[in-house]
Amino acid sequence: MNTRIIATLAAMSLVATASASFFNDANTSTPLIPRSVLFGNPDRAQVRINPTGTTLSWLASVNKVLNLHIAPVDNMSSSTVLTHETGHGITSYLWAWTGKHILYPKDTDGDENDHIYCSNIITGETKDLTPFKDTKAEIVATSHRHPEEIIVALNNRNPKYHDLWRLNISTGETTMILQNDEYAGFELDEDFNVRLVSRYLENGSFAYWKLNKNDTRTTYCVIDSDDVLNFHFVGFDATGEKIRVLDARGRETAALFEWDFDTKESLLIADDPRADVSKLLINPITQDIEAVGIEYDRSKWILVTDPVERDLRHINVLNDGEFIVTSRTADNNQWTVSCYRDNGPVEFYLYDRKKGKAKLLCVSQEDLLDKPLAKMRPITIKSRDGLEMVSYLTLPINAPVSTKTTSDSLNTYPMVLLVHGGPVARDSWGYNPEVQLLANRGYAVLQVNFRGSTGFGKNYINAGVKQWGAKMQDDLVDAVKWAVDNKIADKKRIAIMGGSYGGYATLMGLARDPELFAAGVDIVGPSNLETLLATIPPYWEPAVKYFHRFVGNPNTSEGLSLLKERSPLTIADQIRKPLLIGQGANDPRVKKNESDQIVASMKKHHLPVIYLLYPDEGHGFSRPENNMSFMAITEQFLKQHLGGEAEPVENAIKDSSVVVLEDSDRLTSELSTQVKQKKAN
């Protein structure tokens, strides 16, 4: 089991290049897809089966809030609502090995102080297993050998560090197994023995220690800073004598190895020359590794053991997208499988391994089946210094050419550069509601895995070291120029948009390249790197050396100077184009002050900005009503500055918690009316 706890800022391959075949007939308009379809709750999500094979579970809406539902495995229509959460819905869950308990985390209004809840499907009772104030709880480990127990990490004693507790999910009884005043991560075996502990060292490397019975420790291995983000232990075998590891030391991409735990003798299991091993298919009883997932531009599975060869072959033909096994019974006879595509809902299957047959249970959202959803095309773009950036281009379906076009080419579109967060993350192929809304409104959408993105090997990710606002930003500029040169984007109608790091890149893009972008949309993006690092959550302290290496160390004069230089706030007076900002009031990562600072600077310099605050949200927007209101304002904002289409606002503002703190860019009259009505109420 992978039990490393480190707080970090954490099908067939097809690569295409821009060509005339990308472009659609621009003479036929496409019906607008309602925001309520794209950003409302799904009909069903995360369909799974319990370990005993008797019960299916999923998330579905109750009074507009996602809650747990259950049904007999042979009669999904005979369902029972198991939980009754209000406000923010349930976002993830897992079955306990008892087969009658479901566990799920939930915070308060986006504060990320998750509690662990347990629902009993027999009694219908739901209880908070970790009822501690100002505490972030995490499930660290489960095991079929101990079905009534889980290992949880709690920082209620010391907000900087998580202690490990053994928790009985039936009785609520807890026993501390490790008091922690130092470590960032732990590796446990199937019997819940803490075999390794780990943390960052002062020089940015990452050390692992083996715990001895006499309360001493022995250094197990030390990972150099260049290899830290491509080295992860991913669990023990059933005997506890071997440990699996993703490791890129001495190579470019992270491969899967199996080590003898005592001698560290290593056996290569699977690798790929272009991409890191990123997914594992593991039998939860035997702990045998069955297949590994590789994702370069599209995901694919590589078989490791023969017993599942037939299964993967049968599942692979269910649709033309990608799939993941989401749960299985303890006897391994039944799996639930989710199949994904770029232009349609998720399909949920129950797969019978004995028969080799899959039964379609449902789709995530039936309303999507008849909607004009766009295809996402993997492409590669070269940076100015020769890096190959895996990217994704989504074009409108039969998009009308606006009369505002300033390009000589009828094939060009207004474009939105959509920047991923992290930045230690990546964009992937698949269905994305933001992408679909933008494409449906007539925009080309470009997503770029700039340097520092994950999945493409250690040199690619390390190329982003101390390159926030510099070469990482250059990569985005190069991608925009590629789109213009290839007659995809109208150079005078390009916006930049993103959340978290993507919000930072948006602010930096408008300030550093003021003539390149016509507008920007920033969602919870940091504007001042010095204050960002000064206000990180206390439980991120064990990983602060990561930030110092990748962003800059405020404890040195050189590092502090770099943080100021790379902060959008420092050059905010250079912004010339309109900016829309969305911020969650309870964001523990990027505090509200980050948005306050950039807005104050823009007001001081009389620059156009709209500032939206959501009092019941954190690092992003999870309530559908808030998502829909923000996207309603976003599409009106983009229509005003890029000339695309927009669905009428209707009740999008009224039903949300949004507060408009600044509107120097002037909301449209329809939006202004709703805002005034909301204030009056």
Q: Residue 680 and residue 265: Cα distance in Å, rounded?
A: 70
Q: What's the start-to-end Cα distance of the chain, in Å?
A: 52
**Which residues are CB-neighbours of 333 under 8 A, at least 6 positions away?**
53, 352, 353, 354
Q: So what's the pLDDT on residue 409?
A: 43
Q: Which of 501, 489, 229 is nearest to 381 (CA)?
A: 489
Annotated active-site residue in 271, 619, 622, 656? 619
**Which residues are CB-neighbours of 647 under 8 A, at least 6 positions away?**
32, 34, 35, 632, 635
Query: What is the separation of C-alpha 387 from the centre of its chain, rounded to a whole number of angstroms?
Result: 24
**Which residues are CB-neighbours of 213 under 8 A, at least 6 positions away?**
none
**Which residues are CB-neighbours of 318 under 8 A, at least 6 positions away?**
337, 339, 347, 349, 358
What residues does 244 pair with on adjacent strands?
258
DSSP 8-class letter at 115: E
Is 409 an active-site residue?
no
**Which residues are CB-neighbours of 629 under 8 A, at least 6 positions away?**
652, 653, 655, 656, 658
Q: Residue 136 and residue 115: Cα distance in Å, rounded?
A: 7
Q: Which strands form 299-303's sheet, in the order they lie side by side?
A: 277-282, 289-295, 299-303
Q: Residue 241 and residue 260: Cα distance in Å, rounded?
A: 6
**Which residues are CB-neighbours of 239 under 8 A, at least 6 positions away?**
none
Assigned token pair, 417: 């550069």
Q: So what's the pLDDT on residue 215?
A: 82
Q: Which of 143, 144, 149, 147 is nearest to 165 (CA)?
A: 149
For 6, list phi and psi in degrees, rounded to 5.
Answer: -130, 115
Helix (H) or strand (E) holding 502: helix 501-512
108: alpha, beta or left? (left if phi > 0; alpha if psi -120 to 50) = beta
Contact (CB, 8 A) for 97 and 119: no
136: alpha, beta or left? (left if phi > 0; alpha if psi -120 to 50) = beta
Q: Residue 678 and residue 508: Cα distance in Å, rounded?
A: 33
Angle at 275 between CA 259 and CA 481, to 5 degrees: 155
| Residue in the structure block whose two tokens are 């071997």 | 242
Q: Residue 333 and residue 319: Cα distance in Å, rounded?
A: 22
Residue 423: is the preceding peptide bond cis (ω within 30°)? yes
Annotated active-site residue in 427, 587, 616, 665? 587
Angle at 39 between CA 37 and CA 43, to 5 degrees: 60
What residues does 460 pair with on adjacent strands?
none
Domain ranges of the chain: 376-528+567-680
CA of 337: how far to CAs of 19, 66, 287, 321, 328, in Å? 35, 21, 19, 13, 9
One-character DSSP codes across 175-222: EEEE--SS-SEEEE-TT--EEEEEEE-TTS-EEEEEEPTTS-EEEEEE
For 289, list phi and psi in degrees, rounded to 5.
Answer: -85, 120
Q: So what's the pLDDT on residue 677?
A: 64
pLDDT tens-digit readout, 567-608 = 999 999 999 999 999 999 999 999 999 999 999 999 999 999
Q: Which of 109, 82, 80 is nearest to 95 (CA)?
A: 82
Q: Residue 488 and residue 476: Cα distance in Å, rounded?
A: 15
- Helix H, strand E, coil C: the string for 82-111 is CCCCCCCCCCCCEECCCCCEEEEEECCCCC
Low-confidence ranges of the chain (pLDDT < 50): 1-28, 399-409
- Burial label for 465, CB within 10 Å (0-12, 13-18, 19+), is middle
Assigned token pair, 19: 């060509």
For 312, list phi and psi in degrees, rounded to 5.
Answer: -65, -35
Annotated active-site residue in 57, 119, 500, 567? 500
CATH of domain 376-528+567-680: 3.40.50.1820
Q: So what's the pLDDT on residue 30?
A: 87
Q: So what's the pLDDT on residue 51?
A: 98
Q: So what's the pLDDT on residue 547?
A: 93
| Residue in the structure block whose two tokens are 């390149």 | 516
In single-letter form, the type of residue at position 645 comes to E
Angle at 163 between CA 157 and CA 165, to 5 degrees: 110
Q: So what's the pLDDT on residue 664?
A: 73
- Helix H, strand E, coil C: the string for 322-353 is EEEEEEECCCCCEEEEEEECCCCCCEEEEEEC
Is 587 an active-site residue?
yes
Q: So what's the pLDDT on residue 411?
A: 72
Contact (CB, 8 A) for 365 and 340: no
Q: So what's the pLDDT on residue 27?
A: 38
Q: Residue 299 and residue 402: Cα distance in Å, rounded?
A: 36
Q: So what's the pLDDT on residue 238?
A: 98
pLDDT tens-digit readout, 615-671 = 999 999 999 999 999 999 999 999 999 999 999 988 888 889 999 999 876 776 666
Q: Residue 387 and residue 395: Cα distance in Å, rounded?
A: 24
CA of 228: how far to CAs of 99, 396, 460, 461, 543, in Å? 37, 40, 13, 11, 12
